[in-house]
Structure 1
C-alpha cells in the first residue's frame, strides 16, 4: 500500500489507541510523579491551555520520578522535600513530541534509565502532553511557547550555578524543534542537542530560525529514520546519521495488513530505539560520511577522512567522537542496521569481477554465520565487469563462516554461466587493517549455487 495512505491509517490508529488507553491516568501515588495523559473529551470541551511540567530522575531516584520546578531548589522547598537535583552534574533534558491521542509517551522512563546507566547526570523530562496532543497544526503553533517556558527554568538553574554547556537536550520528533528553539533563545550556547528523527511536516521548508539547525547548540547531532514521511529529510545538525538511508527501516512493516503500528510509526520511532540501544554500549554504531545513500551503497564512501580518520558514533561521546576543530556542519552520515536490538552491524565492501557477459545476469550473494544470513542481489550488465556494493553483517570479517553465490533470473533471458574472476570482501572503515577475503576463478551455473566455507583463519577463505 502506498505511503501516501498513511494519514488515513493514522486516524484509524488514533481511534484504536483511544480504546486501548482508556480512562485518563494522572499520577501514580503521592510520592512518584508521572507524565500526564490528555483525553479527547477534555479537548472537545475546551482546547488545552499550555501546561508544562518537569520530572526529575537521578541515580538516587531512577524508579521514582520527582516533580521539579523553579521553586524546587528554594530553601523552603528543600526543607519540606529535598530535591535530588545536583548542580555539579550535567543535565539531560528529554523533550517528547506530538501525541496523537494525548497519551503520555511510554518510552520516557526507559530512555531516562538508559541515560542514567551510562552517566551520572540529572535527567529532566519535559511534560507538555496537554499542548502536544490531537491537532498537529495547532501543536506546531505552540512549540515555541513551550521552548520559552523551558528557557525560564534553564535560566533559573544557570543563575544558581549550572553552566549552559552542561545541558544536553534530547528531542524526539517535534521535541527536537522545541529543543532547537531553546538553543536559539540562548544564542546557541547550550552544550548539545540530540534530535531523534526530528519532525518533518510543517518544518521541511522552514527557516532555520523556526527549526533545528547547527547554530542552536555547541554541538547538534541527529538520527534520521523516517525522512520521507514523519521525519525531516534535510541535515539539521553538525552530523546527521541517516540509518538505512533515513527512510524505510529493516523490520518495519511495509503494509498495514501486517501491523498497523509497524506501518504507521515504526520507522519514525526507530531513531529512539536505536539511540537507547547505543546508550547501552553493547556495540558501536558508526556513521560513514557520504554525499548520498546511493553512493554509499555503491562503495564510493569507505573512510572518514573529513574527520581525520575518526568516524562519528551514535551515543554520548563528546561531539560524537569527532576530534577535528571546528566541527564540520551538516555532514550526512550513513550506516546500515539490523532489524532488532542492538541494531548495530558491520559494514563490508563486496567487489565482484566477472568476465564479459553476452547477456545480463543476476547474482545472489549470501554471507552466513551460524544462524545469521545476509543476502544481496547484484544485477550484472554486458557493458560492466567490476561491481561494488556495500552490505552489512552483525559479526567481524574473520567470523564469517561461508559465502555463497547463486546465478538467478529467467532461464532464457539471462546468462546461463557466469565466470567470476574474483569475489572479495573487505570490512570498512577499517580498510587495510585486515586482508580482504578473496576467492578467484569461479564458475556459477544457473541451478548450481557455488559456496565456500571460511575455515577459522582470518585473511582467506
Structure 2
C-alpha cells in the first residue's frame, strides 16, 4: 500500500511540474497559427517577437520591450516582418529564412509575428494596423539602444505590408537604421501615396527592394536606393498564368520575391542584376557594361545587395533600377553572357541568334536570343544578351545559328568579322573570340573559340 501511495504521489508531482512548465513557459514559442474562421471574424492586434541566434537556431525565445533574452546588442540584429495573412496560416518561408540568415552571419534574427492583426479577409483592416506594429518595434529597438546597440547594426526585412512597416520604423529614426529590404512591398492602398505613408529610399542608410508582382499585389514604382525587377517585375516564370492555378495564381508572383531573396543565402546562387532604365533595354543587351572592370561591379540581388551601395549614382536620395531574368525553379539562377558581333555584310541583316556552349565534359547549354530581332550593319558591333540555365566554366566549343524567322524566301548569310563571348557573372574569366565566320541561315555552325587579345574590352 505504502509503495503504491509513493508511486501515485511521485506521478502527481511529475504531472504538476509538467502543468506548471507548460502554463508559464512555452518551451519554444512558435508563430501564431490562426484559421480562416479568425480571418472572417477579424483579430485584434498582438505583436510577438521571437529571437533566434546561433545559440538557439531552431527554438525561439520570446522577447519584448523589457526582456532582451539571448540578444547580443554588439551583433547585427535582423528583424523579419511578414505581411497580410488572409487565411491565418504562418508564412511557409519563415524557417528557411531564419536558417539562411544564421548560416551567413552570426547575428540576432527577430521574427515579428503580428498575425493577430494581419489575419483578416479585409485587407484594409490589416493595412490600418501597420503603424501600430512599427511603434511596437520602435519600443523594442529603443531598449536595444539603451543597452548599447547601434542603429547601424539594425536591419529590417519587410514582406509586402511588412515592407511599409519597415519604412515607418525607419522614419521614426530619421533614416538612421542600417538597412531595410522590401520584398515586393504591398501596392494596393500604397500606390501613389506620399513618402511619409509608405516605404521610401530615405528610411534607412541603404534601402533595397525586390519587385516581383507589380501588376497585382506589389508596388510598381521604385521605393529604394536600388530596386530589383526580376523578369521585368511582372509575371514570374514557373507561376500559374491562369486562375486555374488556384491560390498559387494569386500569390506565386508576389511570394517569388521572398524565394529570390532566400536563394541569395545559398552559396551556389549569386543572382547578378544589371542597372538599366527599362526591362526592354536590358533584354536588348544595352545594359551589360557593369562588371567589365572592378571600378563598377554588377549589383547582386538579396542579402549581399548592400555591397553595392558605394557605387550608387548621385542623387538625393540615390536611386537605381536593376533588371535580370530567372529560371522557373529554385534556386532561380540564370547565367548571363554578352555576345558581341561585328559583321561585314554589304546589306543590312535583321534576325536572331541562337548560341550553344559546350565544355570538355560534353555538357551543353543553349540560349535563343530572340527578344527583338537584332540589326546587323557593316562594321557595327551588336551586343546581345545571352541567358543560360547552366554555367560552364571552361567553354570548349560554341555553335551559332542565324535566323530571320522567314519560312519562305531566300536564305541569307551572316558574315561575321568577329564574335566575342564574355561571362557577365564572372568578368574575371577569359573572353572568347572567333574571327571570319559565315553563318548560313538556319544552319548550325560549330567552332572552337580562341582567347581574345588582351587589349580588347
TM-score of the superposed pair, with normalisation by structure 1: 0.81
Mapped contact 1:337–1:392 kept (Cα < 8 A): no
- The reply on whether 1:332 has 2:327 as its aligned counterpart is no
Mapped contact 1:400–1:454 kept (Cα < 8 A): yes
CA distance in structure 2 between the partners assigned to 1:294 and 1:450 by the alignment: 28
Of 182, 185, 190 in structure 1, the residue corresponding to residue 169 of structure 2 is: 182
Deviation, structure 1 residue 186: 1.3
Matches within 5 A, 1:11-50: 30-45=26-41, 47-50=42-45
Mapped contact 1:425–1:438 kept (Cα < 8 A): no
Deviation, structure 1 residue 157: 1.8
Report the more deviating stretch, 418-427 or 243-252.
Answer: 418-427
* CA distances 1:406-435 after superposition (whole Å, capped 9, x unpaired): 53634225x423333254433337769633
Of 63, 84, 90 in structure 1, the residue corresponding to residue 70 of structure 2 is: 84
Counterpart of 1:299 in structure 2 is 285
> CA 1:30 to 1:430, structure 2 compared with 1: closer, same or farther past 3 Å?
closer
- The reply on whether 1:212 has 2:199 as its aligned counterpart is yes
Mapped contact 1:50–1:128 kept (Cα < 8 A): yes
Gapped runs of 5+ residues in structure 1? 1-26, 74-82
Deviation, structure 1 residue 359: 8.6
- The reply on whether 1:450 has 2:439 as its aligned counterpart is no
CA distance in structure 1 between the partners assigned to 2:163 and 2:414 by the alignment: 52
Of 411, 414, 419 in structure 2, the residue corresponding to residue 419 of structure 1 is: 414
> CA 1:453 to 1:271, structure 2 compared with 1: closer, same or farther past 3 Å?
farther
* CA distances 1:181-224 after superposition (whole Å, capped 9, x unpaired): 11011111111101112122222211111111111011111122
Counterpart of 1:373 in structure 2 is 366
Which has more radius of gyration? 2
* CA distances 1:272-317 after superposition (whole Å, capped 9, x unpaired): 1121111123243232221111112222222349994133223444
CA distance in structure 2 between the partners assigned to 1:227 and 1:332 by the alignment: 14
Counterpart of 1:226 in structure 2 is 213
CA distance in structure 1 between the partners assigned to 2:411 and 2:295 by the alignment: 46
Counterpart of 1:438 in structure 2 is 434
CA distance in structure 2 between the partners assigned to 1:298 and 1:198 by the alignment: 28
Gapped runs of 5+ residues in structure 2? 1-22
Q: Which runs of 4+ in 1 moved over 6 A?
A: 429-433
* CA distances 1:370-408 after superposition (whole Å, capped 9, x unpaired): 254332226658895664321222325743643231536
Mapped contact 2:39–2:86 kept (Cα < 8 A): no
Mapped contact 2:356–2:364 kept (Cα < 8 A): no
Counterpart of 1:349 in structure 2 is 338
> CA 1:307 to 1:426, structure 2 compared with 1: closer, same or farther past 3 Å?
closer
Deviation, structure 1 residue 267: 2.0
> CA 1:156 to 1:186, structure 2 compared with 1: closer, same or farther past 3 Å?
same
Matches within 5 A, 1:53-452: 53-73=48-68, 83-133=69-119, 134-257=121-244, 259-304=245-290, 308-317=295-304, 319-324=306-311, 329-353=318-342, 355=345, 361=351, 363-367=353-357, 370=363, 372-377=365-370, 380=373, 387-393=382-388, 394-395=390-391, 398-399=394-395, 401-405=397-401, 407=403, 409-412=405-408, 415-422=410-417, 423-428=419-424, 434-446=430-442, 449-452=443-446
> CA 1:240 to 1:48, structure 2 compared with 1: closer, same or farther past 3 Å?
same
1:52 partner SS: strand
CA distance in structure 2 between the partners assigned to 1:252 and 1:374 by the alignment: 21
CA distance in structure 2 between the partners assigned to 1:420 and 1:51 by the alignment: 69
Counterpart of 1:7 in structure 2 is none
CA distance in structure 1 between the partners assigned to 2:136 and 2:285 by the alignment: 47
> CA 1:303 to 1:396, structure 2 compared with 1: closer, same or farther past 3 Å?
farther
Aligned pairs, number = 418
Mapped contact 1:56–1:67 kept (Cα < 8 A): yes
Alpha-carbon RMSD: 3.1
CA distance in structure 2 between the partners assigned to 1:327 and 1:320 by the alignment: 17
TM-score of the superposed pair, with normalisation by structure 2: 0.81
